[in-house]
Amino acid sequence: MLRSLLPLGVALLGATSVLAVEPPSCSLDKKCPEEAPCCSQYNQCGVGAFCLGGCDPRMSFSIDSCVPAPVCKDKTYKMDSLDRYKHISEYLGDSSKVDWVGQGEPLLYNGQTLLTMPPKSVGTVLATTTYMWYGNVKARIKTSRGAGVITAFILFSDVKDEIDYEWVGVDLNTVQTNYYFQGITDYGNTGNLTVDDSYNKFHDYEIQWTPDEIRWLVDGKVGRVKKRSETWNATAQQWNFPQTPSRVQISIWPGGLESNAKGTIDWAGGKIDWNSDEIKKYGYYFATFGEIKVECWKTDKAPGTNKGISYYYNDISSTNNTVIDSNKPTILKSFLGTGRNMNKADSTQSGSASQSSAIHAIPGGGVVGSGNAPGVNDNGGSGSGGSNSGSGAATNPSCQSDGFVQNCGQASTDGGDGNGNSNGNNSNNGVRGADRTLGTSAFAVIIGIAGLLFL
């Protein structure tokens, strides 16, 4: 599905020659260096936004390198405004002022939010600024359609626990469900549910997550249940069950890029047609998101509390008994800050991207759609929001698909899998190029690499 995005950091990366230098990579076996201590969701090291949502403490310089994560809040997101959305390059961790961060091009149309994917782009991803540590989340969705086009609605933690809904654009009567523990791939975790025309009809998709089970519901009916008791790993002596604070993430992404691994393209329903009727009519593929409701888990005793301000980990094992519900702050003073020095200021301009720093601070960049929302005419008239209504969205050139490969074309010399993902200590961990044909973990690789194409 959805995990975002690429060094656009013109802000903190200075000259083009500096921008062309890829951030250091990180894995369970190769932690980030002290000068760039935070390992982002895409297994690259930096400061600033690298240390916020998605920062993995297991792969960072030290366990306190990542900024503490804002605790769960009961909230209903109407998705009829982008006023509380910010691009990742504009967010320093104040979840009281921002509901969603992301990259790409979200638009408004008829009181809903469209996530768009223009030709030769990597789509759009949004993530909540607060974290769920168990609870319920329900989203009203109309999916995208077309070969190679994937819509996703997931819960995703900083240590890569994950609970998914995903839709392949050639099968509008099926939704795929999945879960992962700390990013370890297990193809037995998937399960399909039946829906009726996911593109033309809104459906309510819900995840009910407790310390003991996950329930996937469609239109109020339970379609699948996975119990924690079924996930015991006797070899590792642990439950391979999602259990750590997670952000809600929604996205549209290109599983069918021609340069992707064959297994991924096949899973995605074939290669994307960038000259399809959908593209000709609207200028992009899109998924429609209505109301999203989060209800936190109610308990007085960990795991699953939300009494304080933030969550952090006190042990590298990163299981639910290592999560601390705390009063630690969550807001950086500038994009030079880290969890170890949150008040570090940019001497040029506090709270925004500096033009002089050569430190990687923005893990990603957006893509822009020039087309119209459904119902928008060529003269710019629209039902709601217009074609440039994505408040805070990036205005960068669309990424080109030439040479765009999911496995990044990188040799693995540091315990990674060649995709910028850690192999960890388990032979099934991480993304495996052509072998990885399911889910948002593949999307993380696609998005992470796309950033290099902007440089």
Residues tagged active-site: 162, 166
DSSP tag of 179:
E
The two three-digit tokens of residue 77, written as one number: 């997101």
What residues have CB less than 8 Å from 379, skipping those under 6 apart? none
Residue with tokens 């997550």: 209
Written in H, E and C, the secondary structure of 121-158 is CCCEEEEECCCECCEEEEEEEECCCCCCEEEEEEEEEC
Sequence letter at residue 278: E
Q: What pairs with residue 233 in β-bridges? A: 238
Question: Which helix (H) or strand (E) covers residue 85, if one does?
Answer: strand 85-87
Q: What pairs with residue 100 in β-bridges? A: 85, 128
* CA neighbor of 148 nearest in space, from 185, 120, 114: 120
Q: Give, in order, the Cα–Cα distances in Å from 310 to each of 265, 354, 432.
A: 39, 27, 33
The two three-digit tokens of residue 454, written as one number: 């902007």
The two three-digit tokens of residue 225, written as one number: 């249940």
Residue 449's SS3 state is helix
How far is residue 265's CA from residue 50's CA, in Å, rounded to a whole number? Answer: 29
How far is residue 312's CA from residue 348's CA, in Å, rounded to a whole number? Answer: 30
User: Is residue 134 packed enough to be buried (19+ CB in 10 Å), middle (13-18) or exposed (0-12)?
Assistant: buried
Q: Give, in order, the Cα–Cα distances in Å from 369 to each of 106, 281, 293, 363, 414.
A: 9, 13, 28, 20, 37
